[in-house]
Amino acid sequence: MPVEAIVCPTCGAADASRPDAHGLHTCQYCGVRYRITAGVPTRLAAHGPTPAPTTVARPVLVVALGAGIALVGVGVAVALLVRSAPEPRAVDPPVAIGGSTTPAGTGSASISVDAPSPTTATFELDHKRPSAGTSFYAIGWVTNTSSHAIDKPKVVVVLRDASGQEVGTGFGFTEADELAPGERVPISVLVQDPPAFATIDAEVHARPSSYARARIDGLRIEANAPKSDGFTTRVEGKVHHEGTVPARFVRIEVRAYDAKDELLGLDTTYADAEVLAPGASARWQAFMLAYEEPPVRYEFTVQAMPAAP
C-alpha cells in the first residue's frame, strides 16, 4: 500500500510519516507534531521547545506517466524522490528538424536532414510492332534514372487524339525484375484494339527495390542464324553454364534491330532445363512474328536466378 504524502503545516514538505496511536504525525523533516483534522494538517500547540529542524532537502513529488517509467500492470507511477531542489533556470526551446531556432543564451543552431532521393525512370519509344487487328506492341526502353535500384517498373502507354484528349491505354512490365541505377532494359507493351489516335505518351511507375536479387554469373549463350518463312522467324541455340552456382529460370531474350539500330522487337524464351548445373548446357528456341521491317541484326542476352540448395 503506498504511503500518501501530506504537506506539513510548518515546513510545507511532503511528509510521509505515519500517525501514532493517538493519531499524531511527526514531520520527518522539521520534527513538528500535528494531527489531521477534517482532512487538514493542524499543528499542535507547543508544550516546550520545538525540536530544531533537520537539514534535509525538500522532497519533490514526481508523477510519471507510463511513457517514462515502466511498471507491471500500471500505466501511472507515483514516486517520492528526495533530492536538492535545483534553482529555476530558463529552458532552451527545441531544435526544429529541417529548420532552425535560437536557444536561450546561444547563437543560432540548425539541423539539416537530407530528403530521400526520388525514385524515377523514363521510357523511350522505338517502334510500334503490329499485332492482331488494330492492336500493336509499343517497343522501347526503360531507364532507371534513380540513384538506387528499382523493382520491375510498370509502363502505361497513353494514346491521345489530335486535341490531346486521352482515348486509350495499355500497360506492361519489363522482363527484368530489378534495374540497377542507370540500367537500361527493353520493354514490349501490348495495346489492344485501340481507337484512332494521333500521339503516344507514356507513364513510368517505379518503386525502390524491395531486396537485392542475386544474378548468376558465367552463363554463355550460343545462337544459330535466324530462319524466316516470311511470317515467323525461328532462332535456336544453347546456353552453357561456365559459373559455379546452379541456375534456374534461365531466360533468353532476343532483340531485333533495324538499320538505325533502334529496337524493332523483343521476344523471350526459356532454356530446356529446370535447373542448369555448373558445367552443363541446355537448348533453347524462340519463334517470333514478323516485324515491321526485316531486322538488320539480332542481340541475345541470358539471365537466371540461383537454384535453391
CA distances from 303 to 34, 175, 267 (A): 89, 10, 14
Radius of gyration of the chain (CA): 40
Q: Cβ distance 203 to 155 under 8 Å?
A: yes
One-letter amino acid of 252: I
Q: What is the mean pLDDT of residues 15-38?
A: 76
Task: Calculate the average pLDDT of the chain.
Answer: 77
Q: What is the pLDDT of residues 210-256, one digit of tens each?
A: 887 788 899 999 999 999 888 889 999 999 999 999 999 999 999 99
**What is the signed CA dihedral for 171, 176, 182, 184, rounded to 10 degrees?**
-70
Q: Quick one: fold of 219-306?
A: Immunoglobulin-like (2.60.40)
The pLDDT value recorded for residue 96 is 34
d(CA 54, CA 290): 104
Question: Does the structure show a pLDDT above 50 at 194?
Answer: yes
Segments of the chain assigned to CATH 2.60.40.10: 121-205, 219-306
- Among positive and negative, which fits the CA dihedral 278, 282, 226, 295? negative
| Position 163 confidence tier, pLDDT thresholds 50, 70, 90 | very high
State the sign of the Cα–Cα–Cα–Cα dihedral 60, 65, 69, 73: positive
Question: Is CATH 2.60.40.10 the classification given to domain 121-205?
Answer: yes
More reliable by pLDDT, 2 or 193: 193
Residue among 245, 249, 216, 251 at smallest CA distance from 309: 245
Burial of 104 (0-12, 13-18, 19+ CB in 10 A): exposed
The answer to whether the beta carbons of residues 186 and 140 sit under 8 Å apart is yes
The residue behind cell 529548420 is 99
Task: Identify the band that residue 80 occupies on the pLDDT scale cut at 50, 70 and 90.
Answer: very low
> For residues 187 and 51, which has the higher predicted lDDT (pLDDT)?
187
Provide the grid cell at 37.
483534522
Q: Is pLDDT of 73 > 50?
A: no
Could you read off the pLDDT of 33-72 as tens digits, one per residue?
A: 777 776 666 666 544 444 444 443 333 333 333 333 333 3
Tens digits of residue pLDDT in 97-114? 333 333 333 343 444 444
pLDDT, tens digit, for every residue of 253-293? 999 999 999 999 999 999 999 999 999 999 999 998 777 78
Which residue has cell 529541417? 98
Quote the CA–CA distance of 289 and 131 in Å, as a whole number: 9
> What is the per-residue pLDDT across 110-160, written as a single tens digit (0 to 9) for each?
444 444 689 999 999 999 988 888 999 999 999 999 999 999 999 999 999
Give 92-139 as a 3 state SS string. Answer: CCCCCECCEECCCCCCCEEECCCCCCCCCEEEEEEEEEECCCCCEEEE
Name the percent of the chain lying above pLDDT 90.
52
What secondary structure letter does DSSP report for 197? -
Residue 198 predicted with pLDDT over 50:
yes
**Distance between CA atoms of 272 and 166, rounded to whole angstroms?**
43
pLDDT computed for residue 18 by the predictor: 77
Instruction: State pTM to two decimals.
Output: 0.59
Largest alpha-carbon pair distance within the chain? 126
pLDDT given at position 32: 74
Residue 116: the pLDDT is 64
Question: What's the pLDDT at 62?
Answer: 35
Measured distance CA(52)–CA(11) in Å, rounded:
12
- Which set of grid coordinates corresponds to residue 3? 504511503
